[in-house]
Each structure stands twice: as structure tokens, then as C-alpha cells.
A and B are shown apart, each in its own frame.
Chain A
Amino acid sequence: MALKDMRVFIVDDYTTMLRILRNLLRQLDINNVEEATNGDMAYQMLQKSPPDLIISDWNMAPVTGLDLLRKVRADAKLRHIPFIMVTAESKTENVIAAKQAGVSNYIVKPFNAETLRAKIASVCPATV
């Protein structure tokens, strides 16, 4: 699948960050982007229309990015979808917890466009 045909779902409680992600994805030729501002809203939208890739923040309330990841991995309809955590949480134990929950890759904020491109390529190798 080409990048331009990918459907990407982004989740962050900071609308500014959603806008940044959307703009950076557009520069990668990914224009089919849906978004949610919290984990609950995201899970409901994901169930209705599973995307090709999920990119989520961690630090959200009440449903965190880690909670969302666990829900996605426990859902037969969604568990195959690559999930990238994009977060300021950079402690070793965070990365370990995310890995144990089944995260596909992990980006620490602040990040740059090249990192985002590389991580997408690593979890969706057929797109590049």
C-alpha cells in the first residue's frame, strides 16, 4: 500500500499536537487522517472504522494511550493494526510497559519529521 492510500488515526489531547501530526503526515503524502482527543473517543471511532495505522499520545485522561493500546490489542477486530506511541514519557519503565502491551513503535516528544517517517516505515514496511 502506498503512503497516500493509508488511513491513519491520530490521538492526542492537545489539539495543537494533532495539527502538527496532521501537517507532518501530509508532508509524507498521507492525507487520509482521522483524529480523536481522548482514548475513549478514539476507541469508539476505531471500532467503527479500523485504520491502517494508529498514532497515539500516552498522557491523556481518563483513558490513557496505554489503556487504548491494551484495548486495541485485546480487540480481535483491531489487534493487527500497527500502533505507534508518541509521547513525552521517556522513562525506561514507560517504554517497557508499552512494549509489553504490544506497541509497534515509540516516538519521544519532541520529535522531527524524519523520525516520524522512519517509524511509520518500520511498522508499515509495505508502504515504502
Chain B
Amino acid sequence: MDSSNGSVSQLMNAHGYLDRVIRELKTLESPQKNTLVSVLQYLSDHIRVTRDEIGALRAGSSNAPIFSSTADELEEIVTETARAANRIMDAAEAIERAAADAEPPLANALMDAVTSIYEASAFQDITGQRIAKIVGALQAMESNLTSLVAAFGPPEEEALVAEGDAALLNGPQLEKNASNQSDIDALFESLV
């Protein structure tokens, strides 16, 4: 059991203990008990609401796939921007080669522009590192949330599955799952 599961278990035990104390207090004859019972009941209700809210995180179900799919999407952004940066540099290198045959004023202007393109292309490295940090944070959140929901939540419910037209709205596919244009053309032709 990891530390978060341990904390959750302790909290649940404490909540059960609190409810038992409330029940026992109610059986007492003491006239001062009502104030104490109401305070403890308030605390117990508050803990219950919090547990229900955490349990609700499971509704819509499985947070883990949401997190991992988001991480995959972010990694795909890194791949796409790398590809775009390389295409930009292909073009810039072609301009640089052409500039070598141009007259000085034009050649200088072209070279300055090409240098700026090279400098700006570093965005891909920077954004890639930032996204890697976000992916790491998502993975840590996924781990903590999964432990919390498993310990607190109600029995697992059916996952909400999109139906009808909504099921067709998935956005761009990850490259490893995607069909290329040839696949699409072949499929299209095969349909009557």
C-alpha cells in the first residue's frame, strides 16, 4: 500500500469512528450532549460530502485513459512541431543556397532573413521541453488520483461511452493509429 492509500485508509477509519462516537453520544442522558453531537455531525457530513465528490471523479469513468491519452496527444504535438520545424528549415536552406548566387544587397537581406528563421526554429526545442514537463506532471496526477479514487470512490460504474454522431468526434488521430491518404482512398473506393 502506498502512502496515499495509507492516508485514505486512516481517514476512512477515522470517519467510521466519528460516526460511532456520534451514535454513542446520542444514547447518553447528558443535557450538554446536543451541542457536541451537532458539531460532530457537521464534521461527519462534511467528510461524507468530500468522499462523494472524490468518488464522483470516477463517474465518466476511467480517468487513467483520459490522462494517458492526453499525454499521447501532447507527445504528438512535439512530433508534429518537429516535423514542421524541419520543413521550415528545408525551405530556409534552399533560400540560403539561392542567396549565394544573388547580388550583394539582395544576398545580404536573404541571409539575414534565413538566420532569423534558424533562430526562430528553436521554438520546437523549447516547446518540446515544456510539454515533456507537462506530461510528467500529468503522470504524477494520474497516479495520485487513481489511488484516491480507488480508496474513496463508490464501486466502479460503467464508463460513459459516446454514442451516435458524438462518437465520431475524436479529433486528429495519433500517428500510430492513423490511416494515411492511400488507406482512406482504398477504403473509400471499396465502399459501395
Residues of A at the B interface (CB closer than 8 Å) are 12, 14-17, 19-20, 23-24, 27, 59, 88, 109-113
Q: How far is it, in angstroms, between the C-alpha of A112 and the C-alpha of B111 when the chains are bound?
A: 14
From 81 to 122 in chain B, residues with beta carbon under 8 angstroms from any chain A beta carbon are 82, 85-86, 89, 92-93, 96, 111, 114-115, 118-122
Of B38-46, B62-70, B125-133, B137-145, the one touching chain A: B125-133
Identity of the chain A residue whose Cβ is nearest the Cβ of B130 in the assembled complex: A88
Give chain A residues whose Cβ lies under 8 Å from the Cβ of B122. Answer: 17, 20, 109-111
Q: Is the CB of A16 within 8 A of B85?
A: yes
Interchain residue pairs A-B with the least CB separation, the first 8: A110-B122, A17-B125, A14-B125, A112-B119, A16-B85, A113-B115, A23-B118, A16-B124
Q: How far is it, in angstroms, between the C-alpha of A27 and the C-alpha of B110 when the chains are bound?
A: 12
Q: How far is it, in angstroms, between the C-alpha of A16 and the C-alpha of B129 when the chains are bound?
A: 13
| In the assembled complex, B17 has its CB within 8 A of some CB on chain A | no
Residues of B at the A interface (CB closer than 8 Å) are 82, 85-86, 89, 92-93, 96, 111, 114-115, 118-126, 128-129
Contact partner of B82 (CB less than 8 A), chosen from A12, A16, A23, is A16
Q: With both chains docked as a complex, state the minimum distance between the C-beta of A45 and any C-beta of chain B, in angstroms.
A: 21
Q: Is the CB of B82 within 8 A of A24?
A: no
- Knowing A16-B85, A59-B129, A88-B129 touch, does A24 contact B124 (C-beta < 8 A)? no
Q: With both chains docked as a complex, state the minimum distance between the C-beta of B81 and any C-beta of chain A, in angstroms.
A: 9
Q: With both chains docked as a complex, state the minimum distance between the C-beta of A29 and any C-beta of chain B, in angstroms.
A: 12
Q: Is the CB of B124 within 8 A of A14?
A: yes
- Knowing A14-B128, A88-B126 touch, does A24 contact B118 (C-beta < 8 A)? yes
Q: With both chains docked as a complex, state the minimum distance between the C-beta of A19 and any C-beta of chain B, in angstroms.
A: 6
Q: How far is it, in angstroms, between the C-alpha of A12 and the C-alpha of B121 when the chains are bound?
A: 15
Q: Is the CB of B85 within 8 A of A27?
A: no
Q: Is the CB of A113 within 8 A of B118?
A: yes
Give chain B residues whose Cβ lies under 8 Å from the Cβ of A112. Answer: 115, 119
Identity of the chain A residue whose Cβ is nearest the Cβ of B85 in the assembled complex: A16
Q: How far is it, in angstroms, between the C-alpha of A22 and the C-alpha of B186 when the chains are bound?
A: 42
- Knowing A27-B111, A59-B129, A110-B123 touch, does A16 contact B118 (C-beta < 8 A)? no
Q: With both chains docked as a complex, state the minimum distance between the C-beta of B128 and any C-beta of chain A, in angstroms.
A: 6
Q: How far is it, in angstroms, between the C-alpha of A24 and the C-alpha of B111 when the chains are bound?
A: 11
Q: With both chains docked as a complex, state the minimum distance between the C-beta of A21 and any C-beta of chain B, in angstroms.
A: 9
Q: How far is it, in angstroms, between the C-alpha of A17 and the C-alpha of B129 when the chains are bound?
A: 12
